[in-house]
Amino acid sequence: MRALIHAPTRYPIIEVTLVMTNVRSHGRPRRPLRLLLGLLLLGILASALVFVGPGLVNGLGVQGASLLSGSECTVETSEGDVGLDRAEAKLATTAVALLTRGLEAPDTSTIDDAVIQRLTAGPPDDAGPSLSCQGSAARNLEEQQLAATGLTPRAEQVRQAMAEVFGEQSLGGFAPGGVGQGHGEASTHYDGRAIDVFYRPVTEDNRRQGWLLAHWLVAHAEDLDIQYVIFDDEFWSSRLARGQWHSYEAPAPANEILRHLDHVHVDVLGGGPG
């Protein structure tokens, strides 16, 4: 079972300075006084830790992931944040996706049950993100062109990987020969590097299903050279080393499509210089 990493709570850090005067008798410190001052110092430090301890430790973390953990991925559970390495995150998200389809899943007995439960059901109050991983964008990738499917080979690899785990999906954002309209300026859809996976209509259940895929994509982003995952007013980027989900600012008129409420957007790195 993985160790829990409690979510960060911010407190002001209080610096405690004790100025001690060295009282000497016959050139040597008085032992009772030195002992008394030592006990006083310990008492002050203990009192300070009561107030600043959680902030001193957890203040090193950021938005659901503690820097003390050294974990590549983090899952927010009702019992606190649980750190996973990337292999565990891939295993957990794949197992949950298969289990929700009623299929045989790999063994997850080495992973905290709270992680599997949260990834399966999602947050109790409302659909939303539970898992995030550190960003790790590969460099010096070969630049790729559209294939017959209208996707680059890297994007096609993502499509095939999703199909193996999630089965038949409602896809869009690409077409044989490529697409030239229907997306924002400089969209990765025009390069054949993006896929939209639809979960319509927008309901809480469909949003929870969308988050199963979004978590899986983030966990597998390093293997699949994924650049962005956007869903439900949130985005994750492999170009941000700390990972985490961030608020997505949709362009006007900010409808369900532009806010990515009805579909998960995933795109891959383009490669080439830089």
Domain boundaries, the chain: 140-268
Q: Is the pLDDT of residue 41 over 60?
A: no
Q: Is the pLDDT of residue 166 over 60?
A: yes
Kindly state the average pLDDT of the residues 255-269: 97
Cα separation, 258 vs 254, in Å, equals 5
Kindly state the average pLDDT of the residues 165-184: 96
Kindly state the average pLDDT of the residues 173-193: 95
Mean model confidence pLDDT for the chain: 82
Q: Is the pLDDT of residue 15 over 90?
A: no
Closest CA to 5 of 77, 92, 53: 77
Q: Is the pLDDT of residue 8 over 90?
A: no
Q: What is the pTM of this model?
A: 0.76
